[in-house]
Structure 1
C-alpha cells in the first residue's frame, strides 16, 4: 500500500515522539531518570515500533531504563514479537545480566483492565486503530491508562489525500491495483481488498482529531493554526496517504 515508505513514516513517527528521558548531569540523579518512561504500544505484536522506541531512547537519549509494554489481541503476532526481541539487547533472560525492558500483553485495546489507570507515559498505535471495532472506546481506554501529561500518538493511513487531483489518482490505484497485486504476489486478494476498504472507512483527519478531543485529550495544534507540524491537529505524511495524530492528557 505504501510501496515501502511506511518504514520512513515509522522512523519519523518515533523521532517526533522522542521516547526516553534524555540524561544530562542535571537529570541523572532524578527519580524519573532512574525509572525511565513506560510506553504502551497497542496492536504492536511484531515489536516493530517498540524496537524503534527502545533504540531511540537508548542511543539518542542515553536512557537505559525506559520500557515498552507490547499489547496485541492476536497471540500469533505477540509470538512474532517475542522472536524479534529474543535476539535484542532489551529482552535478556540470563541470570547474570537480566534485562527486560519489554513485556508482552495479550489484550483488546477496548479493554485494558490489566493496566492500571494513570500508569503510562506514552501510548502508541501504528496502523492498527482503523481495525478496532469501537474506536472511541479504545480512545477512552487510552485516556484512562495514561498519566496526566501523558501522550497518545497514532500513525495511520487516511481515507483521502490533501490534493484533490492526487486523491482521485490514489483512489483508482488503491481500489484497482492493490487487490490485484495482492492476488498476484501473495495469492490473497481478499486481505488486500480489506486493507483498502478499511482505510476508506476510517474517519478523515479532522474527524479523527475530533474523536481524540472527545475522549478528553488536548489535541496539539488543533486551535493554533500557525503552520506548525500539527496544524489542524494532525501531521499529514506523503500528501496525506498517512497521518500522525497526537493527544495530551491534561495535567
Structure 2
C-alpha cells in the first residue's frame, strides 16, 4: 500500500483514512437512505434493482453483500431465496440495517461486522460477492478485490455497483456543479452534516475511471470482466468471474 491514500481531495495516511471514513458513516448512518433519495432523486432504487437483476441470485446459494449495512441490496437478494450475509465495517450502519429488516419482517439474514480488506471467511465460501457504493471508501482497494476473489467459490461471480464519471457531454458539467455545490447543502439540511457529504462527493471524483477499475478487477484474478455504464457512466456495474 502507498504511504498515502485519498480521503476526498486530501491525501492521508492509510490508517487515517480508515478512521475518518468510519466517522463519516457513523455520522450519516441514521439518515443514509433518506439522503440517497435526495441526492439521486430516487434513482438509486432503480440502479440497485438493475444491479440485483445482473447478479441473478438463486435460492440456496450463499452471497456476501459487502458494505451492505443498511440492507438495501441484501433485501433484494433475499427475495430470491439466497442465503445472504450482510457485512459492513461500520456497526452503526449494521444497526440501521437490522432495525430496517425487523420493521419489514425480513429474517434469515446474517449480519457481520467485517473489513473488506481482511475478510474472516475461509477460501471458496461464497457463490457471489456484491458491493454497492462501498468499494470507493475502502482504504486498500486492490487488497479488498483480492479478498473478494479468495472467498468466492470456483465459478463464483463478483459484482460492484459504484459511481463513476459520466461521459455524456453537458450532463457531466451539470452533475459536477450539482454534486459539489448542492449535495453538501442538502446533507446539512437533512442530516445536519455538510462535511460528510462533501467527502462522499469528493470520493467519487478520486475513484478510478471505468476502464482502470475494470483492469484492477482483472489484476485481482477475475476473468470475463465487464463494465455496464448507466447515465453515460455516472454509475457503473462492474463484474467478473472466478475460475
Structure richer in helix, relative to its length? 2
Q: 2:180 aligns with which of 155, 175, 180?
A: 175
Distance 1:111 1:140 in 2: 10
Match of 2:75 in 1: 51
Q: 1:16: Cα distance to partner?
A: 1.4
TM-score, normalised on structure 2? 0.80
Change (3 A) 1:88 1:141: same
- Secondary structure of the corresponding residue to residue 164 of structure 1: coil
- Alignment of 1:106 onto 2:113: yes
- Alignment of 1:126 onto 2:132: yes
Provide Cα deviations, 1:136-172, integer angstroms capped at 9, x if missing partner: 00000000000011011000111x2121322122212
Q: 1:19: Cα distance to partner?
A: 0.3
- Secondary structure of the corresponding residue to residue 244 of structure 1: strand
- Alignment of 1:211 onto 2:216: yes
Is there any run of 5+ residues in structure 2 with no aligned partner, and where?
1-38
Is there any run of 5+ residues in structure 1 with no aligned partner, and where?
22-35, 59-65, 92-99, 221-232
1:209 touches 1:219 (CA, 8 Å); kept in 2? no
Distance 2:149 2:213 in 1: 15
User: Any residues of structure 2 matched to 1:1-251 within 5 Å, and which?
Assistant: 1-21=39-59, 36-55=60-79, 57-58=80-81, 66-88=82-104, 90-91=106-107, 100=108, 102-112=109-119, 114-158=120-164, 160-220=165-225, 233-250=226-243
Higher relative contact order (CA 8 A, sep 6+): 2
Q: 1:47: Cα distance to partner?
A: 1.3
- Secondary structure of the corresponding residue to residue 184 of structure 1: helix
- Secondary structure of the corresponding residue to residue 92 of structure 2: helix
TM-score, normalised on structure 1? 0.78
1:39 touches 1:68 (CA, 8 Å); kept in 2? yes
Runs (4+) of structure 1 exceeding 3 A deviation are: 87-90
Q: 1:191: Cα distance to partner?
A: 1.3
Please tell me whether Structure 1 or Structure 2 has the larger radius of gyration of its CA atoms: 1
